[in-house]
Amino acid sequence: MGYFITKKVLCLLLVCLVLVGCGKAAASSAGNTDATEETQSDNAEITIETTTSATDGTEATTPEEEKAPVPVSFWNPICNEFISFFATTGGEAVGQVPKGATLGLLNWDGRYARVIYNDQVGYVYSNCLKPVDANYFTDMLKIVTPTTKYSYEQMQTDMKKLQALYPQLITISSIGKTEMNRDIPLMVVGNISAKYHILVQGAMHGREHFTAWLTMAMMDYILKHNMLPEDLCYHIIPMSNPDGVIISQTGKLEEEQMVVLDLDIEYGYTSGNNLTEYATQWKANALGVDINRNFIVGWIPSDERPEPSCQRYRGYAPFSTSEAQALRDYTTGRAFHATLSIHSHGSVLYYQYGTKEPVNRLSRSLAQTVQGVTGYVPTAYDNTTGAGYKDWVMEELGIPSLTVEIGSTTTPIVQQDIYNTFDRCRDMLPAVYKWLTKN
Ligand SMILES: [Zn+2]
């Protein structure tokens, strides 16, 4: 038991609600959504409904036969003294849940968690929850430990540790060098002669470095729980942009970035008054090129930022960056069955580029499968004109692919957002494999 709170308490909470009102303060969307792949969820229409929505299709209660849905795990609110409780996603809050309460998780849904609290089914913001189980991460992972600042060095150390644990399964190498001559590490997990090959790459944008942690954690989880089929091989590039990650994590600008800073000041993109913040928000590579706008499909010169910038500059030509070249060469070197690009944030899955078939239909189907596990919302297009990795892989190579925008409120991802993010994503890759075997 333990998670049912008395009705008296709920009534008190509802009174509180009426008195003080309730907003979305705990998890309101901050202004720094990944501008490359902006979420549309902020525009959700606000409606108030009293019916319970059954987004996963498993619940259909009738007045005659009311069966309480069974939670899959239990979670505590962590943001503030109270967090908002919603009847529907995108609606107004109908109550509040206190910090010490226990919520039964039914499923993740966009930026929300569908929960049962005090016999009521409703929604809370997913980034305000922490597992009740204090041993959650030690049960889930063997090597990788939770952090919001997963360094380049720590990632390499963890790769070696995983390899020492599973020497017959893991090979470590590099797909190439960054502009600052750092290796871009690759971890191949599984039999290289396997039937199915999935490529996963993260941290293409510097400030989205949590995606490198997540990618490594997903592999650790799969290996620890013996979830690697014999006919599958994962190709893991957790940090496609180590130089950019280091700029964001250290908050420090080197000579090359000072040149970019001067341009950004000149164009009015930054005042230059807070250099640590400027560096922390860095997305580009070390020379001020946005790698995810440096691929050839959809590339047009200077549609947004005409010169090197901390973000959104496409480069003087497609594949002008050593990082995009390395990704291109590795991706074309093998017949991949699916690719996933992990970015933050938005809690959405971008699955479309252009009109080619069957790749668009397949990517959409893949997005629906991944939604079933993560609760992230399939969305056709991002707000760019292309030149991203996924765009190129789909259009030119015809490989079903997704851009997975993890997280819901801020990038870099903050501590309170890591619990739901890992929990949603841990079974994502096994689901992609399952999908492959059926398509
Ligand atoms: Zn991104």
Ligand 1 centroid – CA 343 distance (Å): 4
Ligand 1 centroid – CA 407 distance (Å): 11
> For residue range 292-303, what is the model confidence (pLDDT) as tens digits?
999 999 999 876
- Quote the crossing angle between the two packed helices 428-438 and 210-224, to the nearest 10°: 70
Ligand 1 centroid – CA 249 distance (Å): 15
Q: Does 93 share its domain with 152?
A: no
Angle at 185 between CA 168 and CA 179, to 5 degrees: 165
The pLDDT of residue 184 is above 80: yes
Average pLDDT on 309-320 reads 97
Q: Does 237 share its domain with 379?
A: yes
Ligand 1 centroid – CA 344 distance (Å): 6
Q: Does 224 share its domain with 92?
A: no
Ligand 1 centroid – CA 301 distance (Å): 20
Lookup: tokens for 179? 């502009």
Ligand 1 centroid – CA 99 distance (Å): 32
| 281 domain residue, yes or no | no
Helices (H), 206-308: 210-224, 242-250, 255-266, 275-280
Q: Does 241 share its domain with 364?
A: yes
Residue where one domain finishes, among candidates 104, 131, 158: 131
Ligand 1 centroid – CA 316 distance (Å): 20
Q: Does 219 share its domain with 346?
A: yes
Q: Residue 384: which pLDDT band, with cuts at 50, 70 and 90?
A: confident
Q: Residue 65: which pLDDT band, with cuts at 50, 70 and 90?
A: low
Q: Does 225 share its domain with 326?
A: yes
Residue pair 323/184 in contact (Cβ under 8 Å)? The answer is yes
Ligand 1 centroid – CA 37 distance (Å): 7
Q: Does 334 share its domain with 427?
A: yes
Ligand 1 centroid – CA 158 distance (Å): 23
| 48 domain residue, yes or no | no
| 304 domain residue, yes or no | no
| 122 domain residue, yes or no | yes
pTM for the full model?
0.86
pLDDT of residue 301: 84
The pLDDT of residue 51 is above 70: no
Can you give the residue range of the structural domain that contains 89? 68-131
Ligand 1 centroid – CA 184 distance (Å): 17
Residue pair 221/421 in contact (Cβ under 8 Å)? The answer is no
In 3D space, the residue among 27, 23, 39 whose CA is nearest the CA of residue 77 turns out to be 27
Average pLDDT on 394-404 reads 98
Rounded Cα distance between 217 and 426, Å, is: 8
> For residue range 72-93, what is the model confidence (pLDDT) as tens digits?
999 999 988 999 999 999 899 9
The pLDDT of residue 237 is above 50: yes
Ligand 1 centroid – CA 386 distance (Å): 13
Ligand 1 centroid – CA 213 distance (Å): 15
Number of CB atoms found within 10 A of residue 166's CB: 16
**214: Cβ contacts below 8 Å, ≥ 6 apart:** 202, 342, 406, 421, 422, 425
Beta strand 348-350 pairing with 377-379: parallel
Rounded Cα distance between 112 and 124, Å, is: 6
Q: Does 332 share its domain with 348?
A: yes
Q: Does 124 share its domain with 152?
A: no
Rounded Cα distance between 89 and 343, Å, is: 23
Q: Residue 312: which pLDDT band, with cuts at 50, 70 and 90?
A: very high
Ligand 1 centroid – CA 411 distance (Å): 9
> For residue range 102-153, what is the model confidence (pLDDT) as tens digits?
999 999 999 999 999 999 999 999 999 999 999 999 999 999 999 999 999 9
Ligand 1 centroid – CA 410 distance (Å): 12
Average pLDDT on 230-241 reads 98
Ligand 1 centroid – CA 136 distance (Å): 28
Ligand 1 centroid – CA 342 distance (Å): 8
Ligand 1 centroid – CA 14 distance (Å): 39
Domain count, the chain: 2
Ligand 1 centroid – CA 57 distance (Å): 31
| 168 domain residue, yes or no | yes
Q: Residue 53: which pLDDT band, with cuts at 50, 70 and 90?
A: very low
H/E stretch holding 86 reads strand 82-86
Ligand 1 centroid – CA 38 distance (Å): 9
Ligand 1 centroid – CA 396 distance (Å): 21
Ligand 1 centroid – CA 61 distance (Å): 40
Q: Does 116 share its domain with 103?
A: yes
Residue where one domain finishes, among candidates 105, 131, 157: 131
Rounded Cα distance between 424 and 418, Å, is: 10
Signed CA dihedral, 260, 263, 269, 273: sign only:
positive
Q: Does 200 share its domain with 231?
A: yes
Lookup: tokens for 290? 């946005």
Ligand 1 centroid – CA 341 distance (Å): 9
pLDDT of residue 21: 35
| 52 domain residue, yes or no | no
Q: Which residues of 258-278 are buried (b: 16+ CB within 10 A; e: fewer)?
A: eebbebbeeeebbeeeeeeeb
Q: Does 120 share its domain with 142?
A: no
Average pLDDT on 364-386 reads 92
Tell me the average pLDDT of the chain: 87
Residue pair 112/124 in contact (Cβ under 8 Å)? The answer is yes
| Composition of the chain by helix, strand, coil, percent to 5 | 35, 20, 45
Residue where one domain finishes, among candidates 131, 160, 176: 131
| 47 domain residue, yes or no | no
Ligand 1 centroid – CA 101 distance (Å): 34
The pLDDT of residue 54 is above 90: no
| 256 domain residue, yes or no | no
Ligand 1 centroid – CA 7 distance (Å): 44
Q: What is the CATH number of the domain that holds 113?
A: 2.30.30.40
Ligand 1 centroid – CA 123 distance (Å): 27
Ligand 1 centroid – CA 35 distance (Å): 8
Q: What is the CATH number of the domain that holds 418?
A: 3.40.630.10
DSSP 374-411: H-PEEES--SS-S-SHHHHHHHHH---EEEEEE-SS-S
